[in-house]
A and B are shown apart, each in its own frame.
Chain A
Amino acid sequence: MILADIANLIRSKNAGPFTLTFDIMFADLESYRRVKDSGALNPAAFAKLYCCPVDKVRYFECENALAFKFSIPRPLTQGELGDGDTHGGQQFIPLMNVEIP
C-alpha cells in the first residue's frame, strides 16, 4: 500500500517565506499507528525524496492530531525568480507514493 491510500490528507505549505512544511494526516489512530510502526516515514527517507541534507529535515510525530510533519528549508525562497509555487501547496506529491509495508 502507498501512503496516499492510508492518509486522509497529505499537504504542503509555506511556513513563512523560507520554509516548506508537510503534513500527513489520518482519520483514525489505527492508520496513524500503522504508518508510524512501519518506520517508512523518517528524516533520512524524506531527505532522499526531497534532495535535501538530512540534518535540515525536521520531523514530528503528533499523535493527538493523528499527524506526521516534516519541515525543510524552501529550495527557492517564496517568490524568488524561478519559484513556480508561491504558496508551496503542490510540493507534497513525492510523499504520496511512499510504500507502507
Chain B
Amino acid sequence: MPNEKLQQIRFISPVGSVGGGISGAAVEEAMAQAPDFIACDAGTTDAGPFSLGTGTPAFPREAVKRDLSLMLRAGRKANIPVIIGSAGTAGGDVHVDWVLEIAREIVAEHDLTLRTAVIYAEQDKTYLKRLLRENRILPLDPAPPISDSIIDGSSRIVGMMGVEPLQQAISDGADFVLAGRCSDSALFAAIPLMRDFPPGLAWHAGKVSECGTLVCETLGKGVIFTTVSQDEITIRPYGVGLRCTPQSVAAHSLYENADPYLHRECSGTFDLTKATFEAIDGVTVRIRGSKFISEPYTVKLEGAELAGYQSIIVGGIRDPYIIRQLDSWLGSVRSYIEGSIARVLGDRADKSSYSIFFHRYGINAVMGGLEPDPKHLPHEVGIVLEATAPTQDMAHKLAQLSRQPLLHYPIKEWVGSTTAFACLHNPAVIDRGPVYRFNLNHVAVPTTPVEMFRTHLIDLCGPTSS
C-alpha cells in the first residue's frame, strides 16, 4: 500500500549540544526502541560572537569526538540517519570542516562506512550585496544598520538553513548529514515533514526535543525520545530520575525565546497558542494542537565583525574613602590615563579609536544601567579595566599606561603617596586577543530555499571498505 501514510515516526535527541556529554547507557536504552533517526544540534550564539568571528568552536575537540562517535556508531548499527546542525558552534564553513575532520577519524577508528552530506551555510559577500541591492535583506527588530561596507567588514556571515537542504541530503541517501548553521528545530522536523506528518506537530516536536533533557522537570544526563503521529506528539526521556511533565514541556517553549507561542522558521511560523500538554504516565507527555502557518521564505543571517583587540587589568579596591567616591575617582583616573595616552602615543592613539572601560564588580558590573540598587556601597569593589584598540599592541600599551594612575591617583583624605588598587597579577596586563560584535539581525529573502547552501556528497570509509 504505497499511498498509505506512515502511522508514526520516532527519533532521539541524544544531547542539547554535540560535545555536551551524551549518556551512552541512555542512548542504548533509547536505541532499543528502534527510532527512525538521530538528530542533534551543535551550535548556538549564546556564548557570544567570538566563535563566529574567529571560526573556532566552543567545545573541546575530545568532547565533540566522543559525542559524535556515540551517535555515528549508534546510527550505523541501526542503519538510520544521523543529522547534525550548526556544526562547531557557529556553523561557518571552517566549523563544518573541523567536525568533518573529526568524523573522518571516527570512521577510520571504528571502520564505518558513511554516505555523508556536508552542507555549508557561510554566505558569499557578493551574493549578499546583490540581495541588499534588490531589497531582499530585511531588518528584524532591533537591527543594527546594514550596508555593503558592513557586509564587506564582517569576519563571517552564515545563513540559518531550514529543512529543505537537509531533506535534499536525506533524499540523496545520506547516512550522515553534517550541516552548517541550521534552525535547531529543523534538524528534527526535516524527516517527519518529508513523510507528510502535520507541519505544526513536526516543528513543535523538533522544538521540544532540540535542547535534550532541558525539556525535563530537572536537567540530567539522558536522551529525549520523541514520537510524531498524525494527530499528536509524545515525548519522554531515557535517563535515571528524568521525567517530562506537562508543565516542563510547555515551559520549554519559553526558554531563550522572545515569544513563547510563535516561532519563526524559514518557511513560516509554528503556533503553539492552542497546544495542549497532558501526562500519559509519570515520564511521558502528549502534545496536541500545534499549528503551522506558511509564510514567504526567509533565511536568518548571523554576522560577526572585529570590534578590536583587548587587554585587561584585574584588581580590587578596599579603601572606604575611595569606594565612597568611586565614580568621581574613576573619572579622574580616566582623565589621567587619557592624558598619558595622548602624551606618550600621540596621533597613534586618537581618542575616538580606542575605549577604556571600568567594570565595577560589587557595584553595577553585572547589571550596568539596569542596576536597581546602585547607591549601595560594598566594603570591597572588584575592578576590571578593559582597554580596546585597533591592534593588540596598542591595547596592551593602553592597559600598561592605565596601571600607574589606577595604583596611585591620590585622594584628599590621605596625605602622601598611596597605592589604591590591589593588582591581582604580575604582569598586571592580560592580552585577550581579538574581540567581536554581532553586526546583523536581518533575514535574507532568497529565490529558492536551497540557493544559499552548498551540499557536498562524500563517502567516508573505514579501512576495510576504502
Q: List residues of chain A with CB under 8 Å of any chain B CB.
A: 13-19, 21, 23, 25, 49-51, 58, 60, 62, 64-67, 69, 71, 73, 75-87, 90-91, 93-94, 97
Contacts and interface: CB of A to CB of B under 8 A. Distances in A.
Contact of A90 (B258, B307, B366): B366
Contacts of A73: 141-142
Contacts of B250: 62, 64-65
Nearest to A17: B438
Interface centre among B246, B254, B307, B365 (most CB of A within 10 A): B254
A49 B441 CA distance: 26
Given A81-B386, A84-B365, A91-B370, A25 B49 contact: no
A9 to B, nearest CB: 9
B45 interface: yes
A60 B256 contact: no
Interface centre among B45, B247, B253, B365 (most CB of A within 10 A): B247
Interface in B244-270: 246-247, 250-251, 253-261
B interface secondary structure, majority: loop
27 contacts: A14-B46, A15-B257, A17-B49, A17-B438, A18-B142, A19-B258, A25-B251, A51-B370, A58-B258, A58-B259, A64-B250, A64-B277, A78-B45, A78-B49, A79-B50, A79-B435, A81-B355, A81-B388, A81-B437, A83-B368, A84-B368, A85-B366, A85-B367, A86-B47, A90-B367, A93-B372, A97-B372
A41 B258 CA distance: 17
B260 A69 contact: yes
Nearest to A85: B366
B243 to A, nearest CB: 16
Nearest to B47: A86
Contacts, number: 119
Contact of A82 (B50, B261, B357, B372): B357
B141 A71 contact: no
A78 B366 contact: no
Contacts of A87: 46-47
B366 A13 contact: no
Given A18-B142, A79-B436, A84-B366, A64 B246 contact: yes
Contact of A81 (B307, B369, B370, B438): B307
Given A60-B261, A81-B388, A82-B368, A23 B254 contact: yes
Contact of B258 (A15, A25, A75): A15
Given A65-B251, A81-B307, A82-B368, A71 B142 contact: no
A16 B372 contact: no
A77 B247 CA distance: 31
Contacts of A49: 372
B438 A77 contact: yes
B53 to A, nearest CB: 9
B359 interface: yes
Given A18-B143, A64-B276, A65-B260, 17 more contacts: A17-B49, A17-B438, A60-B259, A64-B246, A64-B277, A67-B251, A71-B259, A73-B142, A75-B369, A77-B437, A78-B49, A79-B436, A79-B437, A79-B438, A84-B359, A85-B366, A93-B367
